[in-house]
């Protein structure tokens, strides 16, 4: 019963990441102090959605948690926190936990997932060449592993190399045509490049493949609006909101589009 209760509390913290606000921060703080490591782990994962400054205040104690999995999850969650916000002691604990995190990935060095994880960390730390090397290693080990294509394409996007990125994304879709992440990434790339019709179609496909995911719904609706089909965007968002009334980002976009139409 106690184990089940810990799983429930940890899951609740993960779900709470979708509704982060000042009123929900105490729940994460309670999770960080929970005697069960599973709950502390859930707090570290869920708090990734908390803004950097309060995230550091919440998770810094977990960098010295007695459980290794909790320490390394906390370190991974704090990568995006600016260096200026750290104390000397926190920075030391963070560095130690990151070493542990990298070591944990090295155990699975024969798996593409480990190299994608390392590449994502390097990218967040600003080491683009190391990130690229990890993604390319992941593709050599597992040419079927779609996240490696997506992450490398995103790295290329940041370098203004969308021509190369598009080839990677199309290869990802060949491998996994039902991947909403791949469809969304291609759709966003095409829209950026002003190839609106195929871009909107790819975003529609992503939203269709994951009908409960607000991120895909939001991107598709914005693409419709950007092509002048605001009425369709509103109708689509209304349908999504009927199924997922708690999605605040979708609700805010819907209100914004309705107000825009009403002001015309």
Among 45-59, 156-170, 196-210, the minimum mean pLDDT is found in 45-59
Q: CB–CB of 16/43 below 8 Å? A: no
215: domain range? 177-264
Q: Is residue 104 part of a domain?
A: no
Q: Is residue 56 part of a domain?
A: no
Q: Is the pLDDT of residue 11 over 80?
A: yes
Q: CB–CB of 175/152 below 8 Å? A: no
79-123: per-residue pLDDT in tens? 988 888 899 999 999 999 999 999 999 999 999 999 999 999 999
- CATH code of the domain in which 194 resides: 1.25.40.10
Q: Is residue 47 part of a domain?
A: no
- Summarize the confidence of residues 213-229 as an average pLDDT: 95
Q: Is the pLDDT of residue 257 over 80?
A: yes
User: Cα dihedral sign for 79, 83, 89, 90?
Assistant: negative
Q: Is residue 257 part of a domain?
A: yes
Q: Is residue 182 part of a domain?
A: yes
pLDDT given at position 215: 94
Q: Is residue 217 part of a domain?
A: yes
- Crossing angle between the packed helical segments 230-243 and 214-226, to the nearest 10 degrees: 170
Q: Is residue 125 part of a domain?
A: no
Q: Is residue 80 part of a domain?
A: no
Residue 69 makes CB contacts below 8 A (sequence gap 6+) with: 37, 41
* Dist. CA 111–CA 145, nearest whole Å: 10
pLDDT given at position 236: 96
Share of the chain above pLDDT 70, in %: 98
What's the domain count of the chain? 1
130-173: per-residue pLDDT in tens? 999 999 999 999 999 999 999 999 999 999 999 999 999 999 99
User: Token pair 């203004």 is at which residue?
Assistant: 160
């Amino acid at each position: 019963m106690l184990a089940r209760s810990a799983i429930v509390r940890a899951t609740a913290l993960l779900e709470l990441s979708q509704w982060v606000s000042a009123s929900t921060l105490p729940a994460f703080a309670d999770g960080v102090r929970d005697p069960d490591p599973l709950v502390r782990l859930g707090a570290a994962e869920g708090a990734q959605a908390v803004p950097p400054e309060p995230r550091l205040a919440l998770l810094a104690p977990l960098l010295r948690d007695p459980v290794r999995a909790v320490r390394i999850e906390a370190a991974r969650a704090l990568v995006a926190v600016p260096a200026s916000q750290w104390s000397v002691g926190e920075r030391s604990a963070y560095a130690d936990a990151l070493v542990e995190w990298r070591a944990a990935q090295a155990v699975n060095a024969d798996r593409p997932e480990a190299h994608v994880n390392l590449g994502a960390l390097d990218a967040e730390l600003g080491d683009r060449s190391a990130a690229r090397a990890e993604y390319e290693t992941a593709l050599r080990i597992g040419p079927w592993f779609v996240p490696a294509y997506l992450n490398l394409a995103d790295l290329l996007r940041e370098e203004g190399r969308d021509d190369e990125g598009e080839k990677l994304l199309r290869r990802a879709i060949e491998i996994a045509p039902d991947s909403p992440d791949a469809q969304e990434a291609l759709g966003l790339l095409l829209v950026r490049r002003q190839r609106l019709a195929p871009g909107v179609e790819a975003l529609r496909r992503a939203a269709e493949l994951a009908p409960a995911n607000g991120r895909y719904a939001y991107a598709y609706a914005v693409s419709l609006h950007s092509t002048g089909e605001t009425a369709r965007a509103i109708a689509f968002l209304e349908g999504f909101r009927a199924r997922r009334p708690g999605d605040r980002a979708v609700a805010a976009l819907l209100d914004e589009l309705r107000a825009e139409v009403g002001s015309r």
